[in-house]
Structure 1
């Protein structure tokens, strides 16, 4: 077997440009992943994780063991898992992986990205139409007031068709340089299709016995006006509706992670994080792993889907999503990340993303709907979330 790269955890110091050189080297078909701790660029496929009835974490462990027994010194798996746990994942052990520091640690990320080279114009088709989406939100609120469920995350899509194939390296550059401290990815999923995005939300990471999860829930669009932007951030921190929505997600993450932990810490109140387009309520949950044999991916699968991307109760919310969303989510609100044979890894919720296939880009955005939700506000939130990718492709807004 071909040798894979050594331990994916980078060891400083790194020269200036060590992360951006990997970003610049990305080509369609590669697997690129940038997190606040590292930058990975993977080539080829040494082995694919097979689809099957066993839990995906077990299939990943078996694949890594098989590759290691074939002579690979420190294999790792990279890829994406769909929203539906029963659907096939897109996980591979690459032939070779280049590793660098976090993009945010590379001063060259401040250099402005160029505009994507193609196409010059896009035809935009929303699914569903914003007015139909608003009616779905109103209907869901009515059902919640009737006691059927307490939260559901409803998404919509925006299909962009260009005159030519999209410039994937150019889009990745703009995504990564706009939010270098976030989680940026470009991964092939099925033949001819690439999943790209810049997610703000860490589902779970493991390094040694340290576990970290960073649930986000409760959001507001940013403003180009500084005073208004600060006002919106302050209002989000005091919003009863958003604080309640956030608390539900944090409680779910806490209860799910606790059995895996010898100790766990959950801050009493959320803080704020920002992306180029949104403010989010954020809580960083940390824990000490109780059993060393448990991988980051196993815990990620236990957490998935959190109320932040599905709703509560989860089984009812899944059914409601199926009733209202006229499309298959696919990898949207699934997971992207990496893991090694020791169980270390980082798994991120697949948000602020699009799938590219031929001349078509399909963007996804959702909003958490609770009984206090306003249909117009939730529709506006999804439009603001689309802005992350619309800015990356140079398309007009919706």
Structure 2
């Protein structure tokens, strides 16, 4: 289908979700997640690594079967500027979500990446919302977290590109639940035979979903997170026969199976991170999916 942002019917709201009686099991428990963040901060301060992304999940189960088409419609209409997807993930499961983050697109020799890193939940009223957005743009902690990601993507794309444009400062991207720092990176391929998928694989995993150095961050994630991420923080997208394509990071997503959903959310942890702030950030990120599924606040 064409881009939802170009569809005039996108202004019409999706039918509201029925409030189902969900059982919710957090993995890990909130206090365990906070302890994991605190332990990671100590390792960061010790110089072992400079950033790590730690995630948690909610395991949801309902008495009635899931209505995935309805959930997908609500996700799409909640954030029509994002990238909504539903793809089989094996074993009767479906990966469904609405990612705000473009990993990479290629059109001819034109390359575009739009990394997001550094986030804050939206405010409840306009004044608070604007204040949070302005504070995010000036936050040393979030600007550092974002710069780590931008530098990694610049370094990964440089060998493939004849020219590369990287803005000095990030801008803001908003979803229904979050404000994010974002940088639009543009490049011109030196070799037009390099495909979108090859470029996306060269970028993945970025520090926005793993950390840096990558190998150390991946090891820390394996030690701290008590679950397998599966397809979460992978990439989903398309490519045509010419090598053009578009790949997005699989965040704001869940795996659905029968009457169950496993919803994922993560937060970037740096030296200045506080466990309570990262817990609040992941809770806000969960809302994208919980609202679409009809889980009461």
TM-score normalised per structure 2 = 0.99
- Whether the 8 Å CA contact 1:115–1:170 is kept in 2: the answer is no
| Cα contact 1:116–1:167 (8 A) shared by 2 | no
Equivalents in 1 of 2:23, 2:169: separation in Å? 43
More helix by share: 2
2:14 pairs with 113, 121, 144, which one?
A: 113
Q: Deviations over 1:343-365 (max 9, x none)?
A: 10000000000000011100000
SS in 2 for 1:176: helix
- 1:189 deviation in Å? 1.1
| Cα offset, 1:148, TM superposition | 1.1
Q: How does 1:93-112 map to 2 (within 5 A)?
A: 101-112=2-13
Paired with 2:293 and 2:89, the residues of 1 have a C-alpha distance of 20
CA deviations 1:250-306 (Å, max 9, x no partner) are 010001001111111000100000000000000000001110110000010010000
Match of 1:56 in 2: none
Aligned length: 297
2:256 alignment partner in structure 1:
356
Q: How does 1:220-235 map to 2 (within 5 A)?
A: 220-235=120-135
Point out 4+ residue stretches in structure 1 off by more than 6 angstroms: none
Quick check: 1:269 aligned with 2:159?
A: no
Alpha-carbon distance in structure 1 between the residues aligned to 2:72 and 2:21? 18
Helix, strand or coil for the counterpart of 1:364?
strand
Distance 1:394 1:120 in 2: 6
Q: How does 1:1-398 map to 2 (within 5 A)?
A: 39=1, 101-116=2-17, 120-397=20-297
1:356 and 1:307 map into 2 onto residues whose CA distance is: 27
CA apart distance, 1:177: 0.5
In the alignment, structure 2 segments of 5+ residues that lack a partner are: none
| Larger RCO (alpha carbons 8 Å, 6+ apart) | 2
1:311 and 1:120 map into 2 onto residues whose CA distance is: 36
SS at structure 2 position matched to 1:248 = helix
Gaps of 5+ in 1: 1-38, 40-100
Q: 1:112-149, CA deviations, whole angstroms, 9 ceiling, x for partnerless residues?
A: 111345x7210000000011000000000011111111
| Structure 2 CA distance for aligned equivalents of residues 342 and 102 of structure 1 | 20
Q: Deviations over 1:342-394 (max 9, x none)?
A: 11000000000000001110000000000100000000000000000001011
CA contact (8 A) 1:157 1:362 kept: yes
CA distance in 2, matches of 1:120, 1:285: 42
Q: Deviations over 1:2-54 (max 9, x none)?
A: xxxxxxxxxxxxxxxxxxxxxxxxxxxxxxxxxxxxx3xxxxxxxxxxxxxxx
SS at match of 2:216: helix
